[in-house]
Homo-oligomer: A and B are copies of this chain.
Amino acid sequence: MIDAGQHLADMRARAPLVQNITNFVAMNVMANIMLAIGASPAMNHAHEEVAEFAGLADALSVNIGTLDPEWVIAMEMAARVMAEAGKPWVLDPVAVGATALRRDAGARLLALKPTVIRGNASEIIALAGADSTGKGADTADDVSAAEAPAQALARQTGGVVAVTGKVDYVTDGSAAWRVAGGHALMPRVTVLGCSLTGVVAAFAAGQSPLEATVAALAAYGVAGEMAGRVASGPGSFQVAFLDALHAMTPQDVSARARITAA
C-alpha cells in the first residue's frame, strides 16, 4: 500500500527546489500552491539560464500551456539536464491535441522520456496518438477512455503516466492505481491541474516516481475535499484550498487518502 502521508512528510522535510517552465496563466497560483504544500518553486525560461538552473533544481516541471517555439527549446534544454542527472521531470501536455505546434511540442518532449506525464483524459489520449474530442485545456473525455493510452505511453517512455479527473488513474505500464478525492468546484478554478503537475514534481524529488505521483494526487485530493467543505464558490474554494494544502498534516493525508489498486 502507498502511504501518501509519509510521502508528504518526506517531501516537506526535503523542501525541494522545483524549476517550473510553465504557462503564464498558471505561474502565480502554481507558485502559491507549491509554497503552501511545502516545496520551493522557481519559474524561469531564458535559454541563457534554464540548463544552468536545472543543475541547481531537485526536480523540473514543464507545461506547454502558452507555449511558443522558443519556450519549447527551453523546456528541452532543462529536461535534458534533468534526464542526464537522473533527476525527475514532469510533463503537462496542455491541450496537446489542439494544434500542430502543440502536437509537435508534445512529440519532442515525449522523446526526452519524462519521468512522469500528468494530463487530463483528452490530453493523454492525444499525446498517445489516439483520437480525442478535446480542444482547449478542458477535457472532453472520461478518465476510463485514457487508461489504455496511458499504459501505452508509460511503456513507451519507461515513466509514469497520470490521468487526472473525477477518479485519477496512475500507471507505470504494469502496476496501476486509482486515486479519488477532490471536489466538483476544482474544474471551475483555472490551473489547478497545471499546479498539480508542480506538486507531482516536488513529491518525485528523491522519491520513487510511481508512489510519489500517487501520493501527490492523493494529498491534493484530500486538500480539495477539505476546501470543498468550507467553500461557497470557485473564489472561496481557491482560498480555502491554499489554506488546506498548508494546514493538512501527514496524518490527515494518511487517514483520508483514497487510493486503490487498479
Contacts and interface: CB of A to CB of B under 8 A. Distances in A.
A25 interface: yes
B31 A191 contact: yes
A40 interface: yes
Contacts of A241: 235
B190 A48 contact: no
Given A188-B246, A190-B41, A49 B235 contact: no
A176 interface: no
Interface string A35-74: 1100011111111110011001000000001111100000
A100 B49 contact: yes
A42 B137 contact: yes
A223 to B, nearest CB: 11
A8 interface: no
Interface in A1-15: none
A184 B44 CA distance: 26
Identical copies of this chain, number: 3
B246 A242 contact: no
A68 B48 CA distance: 8
19 contacts: A28-B29, A28-B191, A31-B190, A32-B235, A35-B188, A36-B233, A43-B65, A45-B68, A47-B68, A49-B98, A53-B99, A56-B98, A56-B135, A233-B243, A233-B247, A235-B240, A236-B240, A238-B239, A239-B239
Interface of A: 17, 23-29, 31-32, 35-36, 40-49, 52-53, 56, 65-69, 95, 98-102, 135-138, 187-191, 232-236, 238-244, 246-247
9 smallest CB-CB distances across A and B, nearest first, come from A233-B243, A235-B242, A31-B190, A46-B68, A235-B239, A49-B99, A42-B136, A49-B101, A48-B101
